[in-house]
Amino acid sequence: MRVLGIDPGTRLCGWGVVERQGTRLRYVGHGVVKLSVDDSLGERLVALEEALAKVVDEYGPAMASIEALFFAKDAQAAAKLGHARGVALLVCARQGLDIVEYPPARVKRAIAGNGRAEKMQVANMIRVMLGLTALPPLDASDALALAVTCLQASPLLAVVAAASGADSPRRLRGK
């Protein structure tokens, strides 16, 4: 199964693609969509939609793992993040991908063993787990961590979905 992880943002949006082959995880690709702060929010959201649609078309994931909205002290920043998340959700839903969401603390716990791990700690663990020779940019490593978290949980998601009568993991949300 191939999963696209998305770490949404209105200036930088990280993405990463990982697949599971048997019991092994295999790195497929990653990147960061860099959006111009000189553009209006609307223009950045359009550019984000176009870039994410190209990633989905190029890599053909079956699922998307998107960072869940978390409470921030800056309400305006949280609202902008919500706009970027909405675009990511829209792109993935339009492409028919199953979508799961994970809060940042859950991803950090799954990857680094600590829900309060620093971004660099998560990035180093992702580099090791996926056998990368170089450290990916932090936004991309967060996205790869989202994809890995989904792949680690996906066998359990399938069992829970079957037991609950859910027809896809989309109905389930990582918590």
How remote is the C-alpha of 115 from its chain's centroid? 17
Is residue 50 annotated as a catalytic residue, yes or no? no
Spatial separation of the C-alpha atoms in residues 23 and 2, rounded to whole Å:
13
Q: How many CB atoms lie within 10 A of CB 135?
A: 13
CA atoms within 13 A on the CB side of 81: 17
Spatial separation of the C-alpha atoms in residues 3 and 132, rounded to whole Å:
17
Catalytic residue among 38, 49, 58, 67: 67
Token representation of residue 126: 């992702």
Catalytic residue among 7, 98, 101, 142: 7
Spatial separation of the C-alpha atoms in residues 166 and 175, rounded to whole Å:
17
Is residue 39 annotated as a catalytic residue, yes or no? no
Is residue 67 annotated as a catalytic residue, yes or no? yes
Catalytic residue among 98, 101, 139, 142: 139
Number of residues that this document lists for the chain: 175
Token representation of residue 89: 């959700």
Spatial separation of the C-alpha atoms in residues 93 and 12, rounded to whole Å:
21
> What kind and span of H or E run contains 66?
strand 63-67
Hey, which residues are catalytic here?
A: 7, 67, 139
